[in-house]
Structure 1
Amino acid sequence: MSTLDIVGLCGSLRTGSLNRAALNLAGASMPPSMAMEVAEWREIPVFDADVFAEGYPAAVQALRDRIRRADGLVIATPEYNFSIPGAFKNMIDWLSRGEDQPFAHKPVAILSASPGPLGGARVQYDLRRVMLFVNAMVLVKPEVFIAGAAAKFDAQGQCTDETTRKFVGDQMKAFEKWTGAVKRMA
């Protein structure tokens, strides 16, 4: 069996982001049959239909191609103003343009980390709706909302909470099965 190629996307660009730490935890918690590469998207410009009429900017095309090649996608994102961070949504909007958009039938797992008590629940529900619209195959359960995340990761971004490590590990095991099931359906 070949290794499943997973792309990780973090909804925060901040170096010390709790969601980057959560995404790294997801990658480290994957079964041996999976390997994750975190894709950077900092260079994606603001969506502009006039620019799109001229073709995809290089950063957009490169990320579209990388996601298209992947077997699955793991997204960890913070919640901004009860929803998806604007720049992250903009990136999704760019990638989803065109008949050959890379999210179609792509297995996706979502998790979120927040210093607050809800762990990013609202962003996940909005992101699930967006992913549904682009025909992504989002893993429904288990959901992972890391509440009080500032106390669960140390200054180096390492998870110090055994329960959180278990929840994320369980989600990655379920995602391995989900990715295989989606591939068999294709």
Structure 2
Amino acid sequence: MNFLGLSGSLRKASLNTALLRETTGLLPEGVAMTVRTLEDLPLLNPDQLESGFPDAVNVLAAAVKQADALVLASPEFNYSVTAVMKNAMDWLSIHPDAPLKAKPVALMSASPSAFGGGRAQYHLREILIYPGARLLGVPEIMVTNAFNAFNEQGALTNQTTRDLIIQQMQALKVMIQA
């Protein structure tokens, strides 16, 4: 079983990309996860679709379609998802292969705030209604005060959060098998 982790952050030292990388070591038996960022996607401009979808979008759509599930990690900007995550979901929602249709999706976020990116996650849930993604409800992963949650090597140090990630990934596996 293969999961695809998408980071909604473009930062070199992204806490959300680090969160996804840490998740790769907390997966249930029989599950592997690839982590990728979204910096190669152009901004969605419907006028440019006359010549077809950009190669980077087609590559992403194919990767999403082939994955058994998605794990989306996005920081919170201005009480919502990042522009790069919204742009990626917009591209995927109109792609002719409908890669998000019935795709199991788990959400997580890491934020220096006391809210842990929760508002971004709730907006992402709304965004994923239109393309018909299947969202995992609980457990929710919202890493608060995230600068203190990772050590200098980028390892997640909070055992409670690690345990919740294990539970979330197991629930996502069960969701796929149901």
Instruction: Give the TM-score range, shorter chain.
Output: over 0.9
Aligned-partner residue type, residue 177 of structure 2: G
Among 111, 117, 121, the residue aligned to 2:118: 121
Q: Is 2:14 aligned against 1:24?
A: no
The 8 Å contact of residues 68 and 102 in structure 1, kept in 2 or not, is answered as yes
Among 66, 71, 75, the residue aligned to 2:68: 71
The 8 Å contact of residues 8 and 75 in structure 1, kept in 2 or not, is answered as yes
Corresponding residue number in structure 2 for 1:162: 159
Percentage identity across paired residues of the two chains: 39
Corresponding residue number in structure 2 for 1:46: 43
Q: Is 2:100 aligned against 1:94?
A: no
- Paired positions, count: 178
The 8 Å contact of residues 61 and 95 in structure 2, kept in 1 or not, is answered as no
Q: Is 2:171 aligned against 1:174?
A: yes
- Relative to the length of structure 2, the TM-score reads 0.96
**Runs of 5+ in structure 2 lacking a partner?**
none
**Runs of 5+ in structure 1 lacking a partner?**
182-186
Shift of 1:99: 4.2
Cα distance between partner residues in 2 of 1:77 and 1:39 = 12
Shift of 1:97: 1.0
The 8 Å contact of residues 38 and 84 in structure 2, kept in 1 or not, is answered as no
- Relative to the length of structure 1, the TM-score reads 0.92
Cα distance between partner residues in 1 of 2:9 and 2:37 = 10
Cα distance between partner residues in 2 of 1:164 and 1:30 = 14
User: Per-residue displacement from partner, 1:138-176 (whole Å, max 9, x unpaired)?
Assistant: 101111111111111012210111111111111111111
